[in-house]
Amino acid sequence: MALTDIQDRVSKAEAKAGRTPGSVHLIAVSKMQPNDRVATILDQGHRLFGENRVQEAAGKWPDFRETYGQIAVDLIGPLQTNKARQAMELFQSIHTLDRPKLANTIGRLAQEMGACPTLYIQVNTGEEPQKAGVLPNETDAFVASCRALDLPVEGLMCIPPVDEEPALHFALLAKMADRNGLTNLSMGMSGDFETAIALGATHIRVGSAIFGERP
């Protein structure tokens, strides 16, 4: 089974890196996957998923939650401010806090709603123009401004450039989290999660290696 294979590899990578068993959370990235594949993973008892679109997640998870009970779903894709409220109602964590305007909106809604998902700041470690995320040299200041808004920022997230050694980006993210007193690191995907675990990932986002290629 793909899920148990991946769980196995996660355990081995934790052991190899001297990490506490179970300290790495496996987010099963179900975006664009057919519902029957998602149900198979739910049937195996997995309860932590990742989606990259608010609309798609809103169309699928309320029904799954009705059938399977409590399920944690994290947003790992870009968030428009006009979808922030819906996202805050739907997701346990948002991994893509990437700009002051979004921070302000989430801060205001959190006051109003009396609750807020845990947040990760997305860092554009490769400084790619087409990619979301704050730049590495702006990250410390952005963390401070989010804290000033009382936002529950718990970690940093990155998506390394496809054509570069991911380890360099994971190490950079870990260093930035450490100097900002942030404990969580959302990094590592199907192709590189073991490297991410070796470098301190607490949350890995694995899609195709669990579900198969996205249709």
Ligand X SMILES: *Cc1c(COP(=O)(O)O)cnc(C)c1O
Q: Which residues bind ligand X (CB under 6 A)?
A: 29, 31, 52, 76-77, 159, 189-190, 205-209
Question: Hey, how many other C-beta atoms are within 10 angstroms of the C-beta on 121?
Answer: 29
CB 190 to ligand X: min, Å? 3
Which residues, including other chains, have CB under 8 Å from residue 7's CB and lie 6 or more apart?
Answer: 26
The distance of closest approach from Cβ of residue 209 to ligand X in the complex, given in angstroms and rounded to an integer, is: 6
Measured from the CB of residue 120, what is the shortest distance to ligand X in angstroms? 11
Shortest spacing between CB 146 and ligand X, in angstroms? 20
Q: Would you say 103 or 187 has its CB closer to ligand X?
A: 187
Which of residues 85 and 131 has its CB atom nearest to ligand X in the complex? 131
> Residue 142 or residue 211: which is nearer to ligand X going by CB?
211
Which residue, 29 or 146, is less far from ligand X as judged by CB? 29
The HSE-up count of residue 101 (CA atoms within 13 Å, CB side) is 6
